[in-house]
Each structure stands twice: as structure tokens, then as C-alpha cells.
Amino acid sequence: MVRNAIAGLGFDQDASMVVFPIAPFLVGGDIAPIGEAFERFVAGLTGWQPRSRDTGLRQPPKLRIEANGFEAALDRMNRQFLINTWGDGLPLNAPSQERVGWILQGSDLARDHVLGKVLPRGGIATVETIAISLAAAGGRPEYLPVLIAAMQAILDPAIEHDKWQATSGSTYPVVIVNGPIAKQIRLNAGFGLLGPDPRHPAGASIGRAIRLLLQNVGGALPGVGTMSMYGGMRYTNAVFAEDEDLLPAGWSTVAEDHFGIARGSNAVTVFVATGASNIVRRGVGKEAPDEEAQQSLARVASYLRSPSAHYAASWARGTPGALLMSQTVARQLDGLGWGKQRIKQFLWQASRIPGAQVRETGLYQWIQAAPDAQTIASADLDPWPISRTPEQLILCVAGGHHPTHNFWMQAMTPQVTGGAIELPAQWDMLIARGDEELGACEGGVCAI
């Protein structure tokens, strides 16, 4: 992990460090081994020598895989990728010149256009690097614009990806897509949007490509480059669309809320989740509508009202998390006078944590250890709100058209990032070809 971090700063992947097993780093741990290694600390400042004394660009060569037949070559490639720690355990497509060239049709940017360094390792993410991962992840060219926009958001320094890439927390990026592109590329906004869906395959490939980029280019290899203890939803991360067509009148989209990007424009919104909870929100069906609405929101607020240390990292400018609400529920609540802003205000108010609980659970120390003065100054608020303002809560209309559940994705996000999605000049042709190859989508239902 330290070697990764050093590489991300522009050094070779090499560092003068003294390594110990975890025990001395635990609360009350015996730190005698640190003292016993004193000479190694001195040597690190005096005798240690780096393995490299040259600066410059290191461009890895292509791999040539030989076997008796294509299928055997693909098998061998997949084994080699695992041995090189480049895979995720599931079969990959071959990122060949031909397949990567096909994927690159999804962008007018030059293939060597640099988006940034993926930290902590500091591998350089070019459009070509991104296309390689999308090709391997089973993607199509029309997915590339969303993937590029998502990676731009992830590489935005404000979201501090170097921190959540390396943390022991089970972080994973969540990409919410707004605009017509979602339907055009078959991105799910409805039933099962977080999981595999053959009729909406785009989210799985885009999310898997993000994971491969974070692992291979960014060095987030479990237990080595990322210390994430559980790993969260990392096979595909979470890439889905907001269900814009059926938003209640007057409801803004997520992209409007966070970036002022007008409805009907293509945009991504990215935050970093640390967990996910399904919330049974409806009543048993015998309540009065007003009673059910009030109780359901109170129940949701109780999930938000947890003494999570991650809230402290997001408090000043980020988001405490995203609440997914189906259009069925949004329209039902809206009809009862619960507009989007009123819901956010209620949830923010009702999820405040009593000061006694903030202290009893040790959340108080985490707030005081926050990196910004505004959050630290909030420690004595009683009750303590889970974010500075209600607007920071992401409320996304998405999920199957059913009234029973909400889905809460708690975050560790110092700032929500994102922006517009750029399409290539030949976009219409790509979509037409997608329809030709996969079958057209009609009435929100895709043939495949």
C-alpha cells in the first residue's frame, strides 16, 4: 500500500519503510516491536537505496498469447491475467487491438488523451486505458461516454479517490446517470437495477470496467493496495439511471440538484457508498394514506440516524448517502403533499442524532478528527445532523415500480462529483447499430 502511495506521488513504486504485523497498530497493542526495530528506522534514513534512479514514462508492452486455437488462447489469456493480478475471477474478453478499436468508436477524444492518474498507484488513465478495461469487461462502444464521464468524476480531486481506494472501509463508487443516454444504452432504472439484468446489460459492464481500472491502473488490489476489509459491491460497483420519465411534476433530477444540469441533458453523478440497506417502507395496507406516508419516512429516517463515522468525512460538503425511491412511492408521496424538498427536510430533521448518543458511541471523537474546521465545530450540536444541510442528501427516483421498499446507500463522500456526458459525432449510428445487434427497446422494455 505504501509503495502504491509513493508511486502515486510520481516516484517509482518503491519506498523506504519499516513493516510490522497488525498487532502493534491496534488499540492497546504492544508497541515494543517498534522499538526493537529502531535500527531499521535509522537505516531507512541512511543506508536505504531506491531500486530506480531514472525518471520517465513506463509504457507496458502488449502481451502475445499463443495456443492451439482461439478458445485455448482466450483461456490462457484469462489465466495469465489472474496470475498478473489483472482479473476479477470472472472471464474477461480479450482486450485486443480490434476490440479496443471498436470500443473507441464511443468517443471523439484522442486515444492518448489523459484523464488523470488513478491513485494510489498513479497509473495513467487515458481514453485508451479506459477502453481496454471496457473491452475486457464485456462492454460496447456506446457505453464509453458514461464510463469516461464516470472516471472523470472519480478522478476529480474533490472526491478524494486516493483515500477511499486505500481505506479499510468497504467503499465503492455509485454512478447515477441522467438524460436520454440511459435508455439509449439500456441502463437500468427499474426492477433489479443494482444487479445483473440481461435486458439492461450496460450497468454491469461499465461498473466492472470501473473496478478493473481502480484495481489495475490504480493499484487497489485487496489486502495490498486496498485495505478494504469486506470490499462492498465491487464486482460491478453500482451504475444505474434515474427513472426520469415518471418523476412527479416539479421534482428535479439528481443532476439538477447537484450540478444544475437541466433535465433532458446527459450527466453522471458520482458518490462513494459504504453500505446498502433495503428498507421496508410501506405499512401493512390498513393505515390511512397520510399515516402510512409519515410512518414510512420516519422509518427511513431511523436507518439514516446511525452513528456512522463516515458521516464525519462527508459532513461539510459531501453527502451522507443516497435514498432510492421508486416512482410509485415518489408519486404517492407527492400526491399527499410530500414534495422532494419537504422529504429531504423531514429526513434531515428526523435523522439527527441525540448528543448523548453521539458521545456514547464515540462518534464525537470521529467528528473532532474530521479534516475540516466546519465539521469539527459541529461536534457539540445536539442533536447532531448527519450532514450540514438537507440538500446534501441524494434523493434519487429509481427502482422497480412497486411501493414496498426504499433503498439506502450510506456514503463516505467528501464531495459529490460529476458532470455532463460528451457524445461522439457518430452517436446516432452507434445507437442504431446497438438496436440492430441487440434488438430495439420499446416502452421501456428491451428485446434482449
Q: Hey, which residues between 144 and 173 contact another protein (CB under 8 A)?
A: 160, 162-163, 168
Q: What residues pair up with 394 in beta bridges, in sequence order?
A: 322
Grid cell in block for residue 23: 498487532
Nearest CA to 338 out of 319, 321, 325 is that of 325
Compute the distance between CA of residue 116 and CA of residue 127 in angstroms, rounded to an integer: 10
Q: 136 or 446, CB closer to another protein?
A: 136
When asked if residue 67 is in the footprint of another protein (CB under 8 A), the reply is yes
Report residue 255: phi and psi, to 5°.
Answer: -65, -35
From residue 346 to residue 375, what is the string marking binding to another protein with x (rule CB under 8 A)? -----------------------x-x----
- CA–CA gap between residue 67 and residue 171 (Å, rounded): 39
Residue 436 touching another protein (CB under 8 A): no
Among 155, 204, 217, 329, binds another protein (CB under 8 A): 217
Q: How far apart are CA 288 and CA 283, in angstroms?
A: 9
Please check whether residue 310 is in contact with residue 274, taking contact to mean a CB–CB distance below 8 angstroms.
yes
Give Dmax over CA atoms of the chain in angstroms. 76
Number of residues located near another protein, criterion CB under 8 A? 83
User: Segment near another protein (CB under 8 A), from 9-17, 193-201, 240-248, 291-299?
Assistant: 9-17
Q: Which of 106, 107, 123, 300 binds another protein (CB under 8 A)?
A: 123
The sign one gets for the Cα dihedral 145, 148, 152, 153 is positive
Rg (CA), the chain: 24
User: Least Å distance between CB 387 and another protein?
Assistant: 18
Q: How far apart are CA 214 and CA 209, in angstroms?
A: 9
Measured from the CB of residue 18, what is the shortest distance to another protein in angstroms? Answer: 9
Decide if residue 97 touches another protein (CB under 8 A): yes
Q: Are 272 and 169 in contact (CB under 8 A)?
A: no
Stretch that binds another protein, among 90-98, 338-346, 415-423, 432-440 (CB under 8 A): 90-98
Stretch of 73-81, 326-334, 337-345, 427-435 contacting another protein, by CB under 8 A: 73-81
> How far apart, in Å, are the Cα atoms of 429 and each of 257, 277, 436?
32, 40, 10
- Tell me: does residue 74 bind another protein (CB under 8 A): yes
| Identity of the residue, 188 or 417, whose beta carbon is nearer to another protein in the bound complex | 417
- Encoded one letter per residue, x for contact with another protein by CB under 8 A and - for no contact, window 237-276 reads ----------------------------------------
* Per CB under 8 A, 223 contacts another protein: no
According to DSSP, the residues that pair with 117 across neighbouring strands are: 124
The reply on whether position 72 binds another protein by CB under 8 A is yes
Is residue 302 a contact residue for another protein (CB under 8 A)? no
Q: With binding defined as CB under 8 A, does residue 182 bind another protein?
A: no
